[in-house]
Amino acid sequence: MLRRSLVTLIACTTSLVVAAPVPPEDNGTRLARAYGAWVSPQRDCEFTLKNSELRIRLPAVDRVLGSGREGVSDEAPRVLREVEGNFVAVVRVSVPAPEREPEGSGPYRSGGLMAVGTEGPFVVVRRCVGSVNGNRNAVWSRVSGSESVDRIQRLRMPDDAGFLRLSRAGQNVVAGWSRDGKAWKDFGPAEVPWGTKVRIGVVAENCLGTASEITFSEYRVSLLGK
């Protein structure tokens, strides 16, 4: 009887060790699972992830995607993950209006949705406030390359938040936007020389001369096969 009780006690002890609690995820692990890998070229931008809402805080210095502004390199913070084949990606982005009227040539802040191939151009669609081609509120789509293609839609009714979408079908990508995530307005398709694998995710920009915080939520990527 004593021997049987000792065996039972050992078995129970072993079970308790196996059932030890899993350590909680840190912010970086949760971010990678929800959005992808974090990239901040100058390491001076901050991210905060709460549930599925991502906030990116940018300093009061120029941080833009690509080299569209004179003297500014590609230093926008972004979060990307690799996907394969066709996809539809959607995100809700909130971009606060400037505290004062922007000065200078084309200062703005933005939150965007982007995709980039292992080789070849990137495609981005972004919600901008500030001054973009003379517009204080706009959706700006760009296909980079030796000759970048920019398409801008003015927003007549300024909202601080809205939805952005990128859809890929083979070598064609369509950028679009929506106020409510239901009724969409698309730009025309862009042809891109991508392979099957691309990186996709969100990007934040700021060249207003003041610190900015961009908020992303309701992010989802649907894979549609090759």
Please give the Cα distance from 134 to 226 (Å, whole number): 40
| pLDDT score, position 123 | 95
Please give the Cα distance from 89 to 35 (Å, whole number): 11
Residue type, 106: G
- Cβ neighbours, 10 Å, residue 152: 15
Asked whether the predicted pLDDT for residue 105 surpasses 70, the reply is no
> What percent of the chain is modeled with pLDDT above 70?
80
CATH code given to domain 26-225:
2.60.120.200
Could you give the dihedral angle defined by the CA atoms of residues 183, 90, 138 and 209, in that order, rounded to the nearest 10 degrees?
150
pTM reported for the whole predicted model: 0.83
Give me the mean pLDDT over the 97-105 stretch: 68
Which has the higher per-residue pLDDT, 72 or 76?
76
Name the residue ranges covered by the structural domains of the chain: 26-225
